[in-house]
Amino acid sequence: MKATIYDIAREAGVSIATVSQVINGKGKISEERRNEVMRIMERLNYQPSVIASALTGKRTFTLGLLVPDISNPFFAEIARAVEDQSRRLGYSLVICSTDNKDERVERYLSLLRQKSVDGIIIGTGIDNEDIIKPLLTQSIAIALIARDMPALAVHTVVVEDFKGGALGAEHLLKEGHHRVAVLAEHPKVSSSRERVRGFKSVVEAAGLPWSEESVKSCDYTLEDGKRKALELLKLTERPTALFCCNELLAIGALQAAKELKLRIPRDVSVIGFDNTILASVSDPPLTTIAQPIEAMGKKVVDLLVEALQDKSAAAKAERIVLEPELIIRQSTSSIQV
């Protein structure tokens, strides 16, 4: 049986109140008593029950993280960043893969509430924002990462997607590309929409032709990215560069180009987005727009935990927008004349 606070108290010949004090470093306990109690806790391998403590109104020191799929490298890296900062601040992390299904989101949210987690970080797309509204009334803090839900007053950490798209376009234009196309995610994904908007704005500002036909929406798979890239690359007026809204799509594009015996970047340049491990292992390594994943993870946790301990901080909803960064590798080059 696990030792309880009573065992310690009995063994030390003090009251449980005293033991509780030394555990929490509160109140006034004499040096010797304190040492004696600590020695006994050690000897009995005593560990206070977070469960019991939480029941008295204290925190559970547990956070929930909702992502579409923890096995997707981007979210796996986000999770690592979030976990690291959580650990530093004394929190554990419950991960929840939603596959972007609202039903799953609802289920997980309800579960996390029943388990009295102190806060929830949402990094998954949600079709119906009303799903999380009820939570705002509860005593659970909420924060968003890599997702934007302007309609909701919650802490949010995102990268400046519009600028990321613009960065990609600028790079390509500087290299002399005129015919560019885009592999986007589903139109309902706001980050993808923004990236495309940013990309387009630069292309148009440069006075280059732009047609909605050159933007292909893909589902979440590499295969679909490849398929859509093939369509694009088979056009008679073949684009000389492809901007992809995530790295799975970019790798699909790479594969499509190879299948068509196009050399990269000589015949076609490809830009990715996220800068996950995939960008560095692909062949050629991907030029990509990096999201500062580690900083983002750290920041949401900071925001969330701050809101937990500070009533006033909890009230306002901060919105942190981090800078995307162009990472040049070998999948892009100046156009060959």
Partner DNA sequence: TTGAAAGCGCTACCAT
Partner DNA sequence: ATGGTAGCGCTTTCAA
Identify which of residues 27 and 187 has a Cβ nearer to DNA in the complex.
27
Binding of residue 116 to its own copies (CB under 8 A): yes
- C-beta of 53 vs 330, nearer to DNA: 53
Q: What are phi and psi of 44, to 5 degrees?
A: -90, 5
Q: Are 323 and 160 in contact (CB under 8 A)?
A: yes
Instruction: Provide the 8-state DSSP code for 45.
Output: T
Q: In angstroms, how far is CA 97 from the centroid of its own chain?
A: 12
- If binding is defined by CB under 8 A, does position 84 make contact with its own copies? yes
* CA–CA separation, 219 and 183 (whole Å): 10
Q: Which is nearer to DNA, 2 or 174 (CB)?
A: 2
333 lies in the binding site for its own copies (CB under 8 A): no
**Do the beta carbons of residue 250 and residue 272 sit within 8 Å?**
yes
Part of the chain binding its own copies (CB under 8 A), chosen from 5-13, 28-36, 173-181, 276-284: 276-284
* Residue ranges in 282-311 that form contacts with its own copies under rule CB under 8 A: 282-283
Cβ density class 213-250: b for 16+ within 10 Å, e for less: ebbbbbebebebbbbbbbebbeeeeebbbbbbbbbbbb
Instruction: Choose between 44 and 173: whose C-beta lies nearer to DNA.
Output: 44
The one of DNA, its own copies, none whose footprint includes residue 28, by CB under 5 to 8 A per kind, is DNA
Is the preceding omega at residue 134 within 30 degrees of 0, hence cis?
no
- Site mask, its own copies, residues 21-40, x = CB under 8 A? --------------------
For binding to DNA (CB under 7 A), which residues are involved?
A: 2, 4-6, 13-18, 20-21, 23-24, 26-30, 33-34, 48-49, 52-53, 55-58
Q: Among residues 34 and 104, whose Cβ is nearest to DNA? A: 34
Per CB under 8 A, the list member of 28, 31, 114, 150 interacting with its own copies is 114
Q: Which does 254 bind (CB under 5 to 8 A by kind): its own copies, DNA, none?
A: its own copies
Yes or no: say if 116 and 141 are a contact pair by the CB < 8 Å rule: no
CB closer to its own copies out of 55 and 205: 55
Rule CB under 8 A: is residue 221 a binding residue for its own copies?
Answer: no
| Contacted entry of DNA, its own copies, none for residue 33, CB cut-off 5 to 8 Å set by kind | DNA
122 neighbors 147 (Cβ within 8 angstroms):
yes
- Cα separation of 11 and 13, whole Å? 6
Whether the Cβ atoms of residue 164 and residue 195 lie closer than 8 Å to each other:
yes
Give the footprint of its own copies on residues 130-149 (CB under 8 A): 134, 138-139
Residue 106 CA to residue 114 CA, distance in Å, equals 12
* Residue 15 near which of its own copies, DNA, none (CB within 5-8 Å, type-dependent): DNA
Query: Residue 80 touches which of DNA, its own copies, none (CB < 5 to 8 A by kind)?
Result: its own copies
Which secondary-structure segment (H or E) carries 144? strand 141-145
Q: In the complex with its own copies, which residue's Cβ is closer, 95 or 322?
A: 95
DSSP secondary structure, 174-232, as one string: HTT--SEEEEE--TT-HHHHHHHHHHHHHHHHTT----GGGEEE--SSHHHHHHHHHHH
Q: 211 contacts which partner out of its own copies, DNA, none, CB within 5 to 8 A by kind?
A: none
Distance from C-alpha of 337 to C-alpha of 15, rounded to nearest angstrom: 86
Binding site for its own copies (CB under 8 A): 1-2, 45, 47-52, 54-55, 60-62, 69-73, 76-77, 79-80, 83-84, 92-97, 110-116, 134, 138-139, 222, 251, 254, 258, 277-278, 280-283
